[in-house]
């Protein structure tokens, strides 16, 4: 019985309207029967839940089917998910654009809004901006009956002729700057005409449903229902249009029906929400999404990932079924190529038809400009019959082009899909405050959602960025630069930033993703400057997957977005929880004092270091990121002898966990279960002196304490000993040197050795003897009590191993008695030893070592003396 119900659910996902409703009812009935027959409580609960879901779906399908039947349109799914207060606030705040308010759509306006002859003629107070070129020929805002070609030929009472197309429509753009809008209207003509299922019936008010065409408003007011900023919204305009002093036009015209009014009204309403008649540009996929609510997809034709045969089959079937609107966009074509090819750069075109002729797959393409270039066929990659190139059937600015040539000469194919292809829709709205620049490359603050599907049927996710005034100002500024020849529209797009969607498999499933990780990433959309991007994928049934919204270079401080999920079955969608509940974040920088480079450099110990204290066993995850995107970074977590001791040179056995090899811009380190205790965290760049800000985030199952380790020698008295020259001479080497140390009281101290380049002479002690540079020499330093066979080593660098002084050497900190007590035990000594270098002559030296005693109390130090006899 359950198998039968599942089969009905499967078929439900593949059908629409009455047929889908029948499958929903049949599946619900089977689940109710199964719930009454099963003896397993868990199954009974599951069957009843499925029954309730299908009944709710059936009610929605019934309502949509009824509405669709009355308008002869397919049923469109609507999101029934209750919105949170924050989401409602975001939708309301997004109502304000360009000084206007576009409230969420609640209901169709009352008929008397448009038919009351006693009402004053409506005048929209909203300003509509015009470009300088448009202002040069602007003759004022005129009503339709006042416009040339309209009023002169229209008798009183014959205004309805303004809404009738007596011939096939041929929309064109003249001096307007909205090629994407006109291309959109051209491509959508077959859905906007006077036929059953016309989308105009739910787009424009008033509408004559009997004649299936817009009606003339006697009050001069028109109301449009448009989808943008996360909601269907109310857009009101008057019927005044920008008149021209010349034969050029400032609004869209129908060359076959010059008196057709509604296309210009649709254009005006859309340009009101986009900023005016000087709107600097969009893309037709975005425009059609606002005009129709159909789901936009941008297919990048120049991508190596495109599969031509699959793309053609997909769009051809959808177009033939009436489920897709197609438009095209060119890239930054060189001026000489424009004339040769007959194509306009950075321009949108409408696709008016698709056909297969012999072995050729052809698109009928229209340039929306009134008088413009038409493709010449130069450089065609397909063998076409002569009549397939150039103008088609006498229609202006139309030409047939093979799909192979489209792939070669256009950058993008925009497909707007009928949302009625899906049974379920779920909308989520959110605000996103842009993070600090140091965290742009990681996902610490990115919105993330857990998506659970009960089946493997396709899921489409549309991310829509809400428009706001700041973006329009950026577009206008960059458009002005382009007009001056300073940049192109491609540069404009970069000023708006980019966004994308990524899908991840995580552990535990559905939890947050800390940073980009190609090993766990399932899908990734292209980064787009468009306000919309679509992710299509096949889910893993009954396994939550994590959806991440990503961005780069979005310029404004805060944005609002809407995520629309379309599916054949109900989805469970929740904000992704973090894999570990507790986190600590700090922000600092590598400076001239702290940019020590990798462990291969002697300055490694100067890198930022922190002590990490864990009160209980816990998994651990650390994320490091910077605003310097090309800077290689590394994290190391190490055992530490004390919270105030800096790591001088890490040994392999000391490393608890670390990030992989130095990674650009961000790095991560993790440990599955770390025992309680205090650890050192070292943050490094690859080379010394690489300066940049950074952010470190530590996540754990318990609260942790993260504190900076003081700089080397911070809070300590420094007592330098004379520089000791080391070299590569022919002698037996420097051997052992020692210098006495006398503390005045109980003192904590350590010894630090570093290179002192350019030293050519010996040190100050009688046994300084050695000379020369550091090449070929290795040293170690120790703190010892007593001399000879009775001496005691308190601390030694590198656990007794010799190392190049250029790497920086240091002993651990030790507590020592005062000088009097030490004297009874043979005194306290700093001992410096060398192997592998030359002793002897003092000339020819090129380097030396500087030894310092670091202490928290006053100490006295003597000069170097020979200790070889020890």
Q: What is the pLDDT of residues 463-501, one digit of tens each?
A: 999 999 988 888 777 666 665 555 554 444 457 899 999
Rounded distance, CA 349 to CA 191, Å? 17
Assess whether the previous peptide bond of 206 is cis (omega < 30° from 0): yes
- In this structure, the dihedral spanned by the alpha carbons of residues 217, 218, 221 and 225, taken in order and rounded to 10 degrees, is -20
Give the residue, 80 or 267, on which the prediction is more confident.
267
pLDDT at residue 652, as a whole number = 86
* Cα–Cα nearest to 671, from 612, 631, 728, 713: 612
pLDDT at residue 175, as a whole number = 76
Rounded distance, CA 609 to CA 680, Å? 7
- Could you give phi then psi for residue 640, rounded to 5 degrees? -130, 140
Q: Compute the Cα dihedral for 594, 598, 599, 600 and give only its sign.
A: negative
Residue 634: count other Cβ atoms within 10 Å of its Cβ. Answer: 22
> Which of the residues 98, 347, 409, 466 is marked catalytic?
347
Give tens-digit pLDDT for 718-759: 899 999 887 544 344 558 899 999 998 999 899 988 887 655
Rounded distance, CA 802 to CA 734, Å? 13
Give the mean pLDDT of 62-88.
72
Annotated catalytic residue 435: no
- Could you give phi then psi for residue 431, rounded to 5 degrees? -105, 150
Give the mean pLDDT of 508-530.
94
Give tens-digit pLDDT for 753-789: 888 765 544 333 333 333 334 445 788 999 999 988 8
> In whole angstroms, what separates CA 226 from the centre of its chain?
26
- In this structure, the dihedral spanned by the alpha carbons of residues 216, 222, 228 and 229, taken in order and rounded to 10 degrees, is -170
pLDDT at residue 487, as a whole number = 52
Coil vs helix vs strand at 290: helix
- Spell out where 56-109 has E strands: 96-97, 100-101
Rounded distance, CA 632 to CA 216, Å? 65
> Which of the residues 179, 283, 323, 429 is marked catalytic?
179
Give tens-digit pLDDT for 400-417: 999 999 999 999 999 999
Q: Binning pLDDT at 50, 70 and 90, where does residue 605 land?
A: confident
Annotated catalytic residue 657: no
Cβ-count burial 16-46 (b if 16+ within 10 Å, e if not) = bbeebbbbbbbbbbbbbbbbeebeeeeeeeb
> Which of the residues 64, 229, 323, 367 is marked catalytic?
367
Give the mean pLDDT of 563-575.
97
pLDDT at residue 761, as a whole number = 41
Give tens-digit pLDDT for 308-333: 999 999 999 999 999 999 999 999 88
pLDDT at residue 262, as a whole number = 95
The tokens describing 170, both together, are 């041929």
Q: Binning pLDDT at 50, 70 and 90, where does residue 210 land?
A: confident
Residue 663 reports pLDDT greater than 70: yes
Give tens-digit pLDDT for 1-42: 888 888 887 776 556 667 778 888 888 888 888 888 888 888
Q: Hey, what domains does the chain have and what are their CATH numbers?
A: 2-71 (no CATH), 93-291 (no CATH), 295-417 (3.90.70.10), 422-575 (2.60.120.380), 582-708 (2.60.120.380), 717-866 (2.60.120.380)
pLDDT at residue 374, as a whole number = 78
Q: Binning pLDDT at 50, 70 and 90, where does residue 69 land?
A: very low
User: Using CB atoms within 10 A of its CB, is residue 418 exposed (0-12), middle (13-18) or buried (19+)?
Assistant: buried
Ramachandran sector of residue 103 (left: φ over 0; alpha: ψ -120 to 50; beta: rest): beta
Give tens-digit pLDDT for 89-145: 999 999 999 999 999 999 899 888 898 767 789 999 999 999 888 999 999 999 998
pLDDT at residue 74, as a whole number = 57
Give tens-digit pLDDT for 794-821: 999 888 888 887 767 888 888 999 888 8
pLDDT, averaged across the chain: 86
The tokens describing 337, both together, are 């190529």
Annotated catalytic residue 367: yes
Give tens-digit pLDDT for 686-721: 999 999 999 999 999 999 999 999 887 777 888 999
* Cα–Cα nearest to 380, from 357, 407, 355, 359: 407
The tokens describing 865, both together, are 């003396």
pLDDT at residue 803, as a whole number = 83
pLDDT at residue 845, as a whole number = 45
């Amino acid at each position: 019985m359950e198998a039968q119900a599942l089969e009905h659910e499967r078929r439900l996902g593949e059908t629409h309207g009455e047929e889908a409703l029948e499958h929903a009812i049949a599946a619900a009935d089977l689940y109710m029967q199964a719930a009454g027959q099963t003896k397993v409580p868990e199954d009974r609960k599951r069957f009843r839940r499925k029954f309730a879901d299908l009944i709710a779906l059936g009610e929605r399908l019934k309502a949509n089917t009824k509405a669709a039947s009355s308008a002869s349109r397919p049923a469109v799914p609507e999101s029934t998910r209750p919105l949170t207060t924050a989401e409602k606030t975001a939708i309301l705040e997004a109502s304000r654009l360009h000084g206007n308010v576009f409230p969420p759509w609640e209901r169709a306006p009352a008929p008397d809004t448009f038919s009351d002859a006693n009402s004053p003629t409506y005048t929209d107070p909203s300003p509509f901006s015009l470009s300088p070129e448009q202002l040069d020929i602007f003759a004022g805002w005129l009503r339709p009956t006042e416009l040339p070609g309209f009023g002169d030929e229209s008798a009183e009472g014959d205004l309805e002729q303004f809404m009738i197309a007596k011939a096939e429509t041929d929309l064109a753009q003249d001096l307007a700057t909205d090629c994407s809008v006109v291309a959109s209207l051209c491509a959508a003509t077959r859905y906007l005409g006077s036929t059953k299922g016309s989308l105009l019936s739910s787009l424009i008010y008033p509408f004559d449903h009997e004649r299936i065409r817009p009606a003339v408003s006697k009050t001069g007011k028109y109301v449009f229902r448009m989808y943008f900023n996360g909601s269907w919204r109310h857009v009101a305009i008057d019927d005044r249009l920008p008149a021209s002093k010349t034969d050029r036009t400032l609004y869209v015209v129908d060359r076959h029906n010059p008196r057709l009014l509604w296309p210009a009204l649709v254009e005006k309403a859309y340009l009101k929400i986009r900023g005016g008649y000087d709107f600097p540009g969009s893309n037709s996929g975005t425009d059609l999404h606002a005009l129709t609510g159909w789901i936009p997809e941008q297919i990048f034709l120049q991508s190596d990932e495109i599969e031509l045969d699959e793309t053609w089959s997909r769009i051809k079937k959808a177009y033939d079924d009436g489920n897709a609107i197609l438009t095209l966009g060119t890239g930054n074509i060189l001026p000489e190529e424009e004339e040769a090819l007959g194509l306009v750069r950075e321009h949108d075109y409408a696709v008016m038809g698709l056909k297969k002729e012999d072995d050729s797959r052809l698109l009928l393409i229209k340039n929306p400009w009134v008088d413009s270039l038409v493709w010449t066929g130069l450089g065609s990659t397909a063998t076409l019959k002569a009549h397939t190139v150039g103008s088609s059937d006498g229609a202006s600015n139309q030409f047939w082009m093979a799909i192979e040539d489209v792939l070669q000469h256009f950058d993008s194919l925009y497909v707007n899909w009928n949302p009625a292809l899906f049974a379920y829709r779920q909308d989520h709205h959110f605000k996103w405050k842009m993070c600090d620049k140091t965290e742009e490359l990681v996902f610490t603050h990115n919105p993330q959602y857990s998506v659970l599907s009960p089946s493997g049927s396709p899921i489409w996710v549309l991310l829509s960025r809400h428009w706001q005034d700041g973006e329009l100002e950026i577009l206008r500024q960059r458009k002005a630069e382009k007009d001056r020849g300073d940049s192109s529209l491609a540069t404009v797009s970069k000023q708006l930033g980019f966004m994308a969607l990524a899908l991840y498999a995580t552990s535990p499933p559905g939890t947050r993703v800390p940073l980009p990780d190609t090993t766990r990433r399932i899908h990734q959309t292209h980064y787009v400057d468009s306000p919309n991007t679509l992710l299509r994928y096949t889910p893993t049934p009954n396994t939550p997957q994590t959806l991440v919204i990503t961005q780069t270079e979005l310029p404004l401080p805060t944005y609002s977005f809407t995520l629309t999920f379309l599916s054949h079955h109900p989805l469970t969608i929740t904000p992704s929880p973090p894999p570990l509940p507790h986190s600590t974040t700090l922000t600092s920088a590598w400076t001239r004092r702290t940019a020590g480079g990798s462990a291969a450099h002697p300055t490694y110990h100067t890198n930022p270091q922190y002590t990490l204290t864990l009160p209980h066993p816990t998994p651990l995850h650390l994320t490091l990121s910077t605003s310097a995107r090309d800077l290689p970074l590394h994290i190391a977590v190490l055992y530490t002898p004390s919270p105030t001791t800096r790591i001088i040179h890490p040994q392999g056995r000391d490393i608890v966990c670390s990030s992989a090899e130095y990674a650009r811009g961000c790095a991560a380190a993790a440990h599955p279960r770390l025992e309680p205790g205090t650890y050192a965290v070292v943050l490094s760049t690859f080379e010394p002196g690489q300066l940049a800000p950074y952010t470190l985030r530590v996540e754990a199952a318990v609260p942790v304490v993260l504190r900076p380790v003081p700089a080397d020698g911070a809070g300590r008295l420094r007592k330098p000993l004379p520089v000791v020259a080391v070299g590569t001479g022919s002698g037996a080497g420097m051997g052992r040197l020692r210098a006495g140390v006398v503390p005045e009281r109980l003192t904590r101290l350590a010894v630090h050795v570093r290179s002192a380049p350019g030293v050519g002479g010996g040190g100050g002690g009688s046994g300084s003897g050695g000379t020369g540079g550091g090449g070929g020499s290795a040293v170690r330093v120790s703190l010892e009590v007593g001399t000879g066979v009775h001496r005691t080593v308190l601390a030694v660098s590198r656990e007794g191993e010799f190392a190049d002084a250029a790497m920086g050497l240091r002993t651990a900190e030790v507590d020592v008695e005062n000088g009097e007590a030490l004297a009874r035990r043979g005194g306290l000594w700093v001992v410096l030893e060398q192997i592998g270098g030359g002793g002897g002559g003092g000339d020819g030296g090129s380097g030396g070592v500087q030894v310092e005693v670091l202490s928290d109390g006053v100490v006295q130090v003597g000069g170097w003396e020979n200790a070889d006899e020890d």
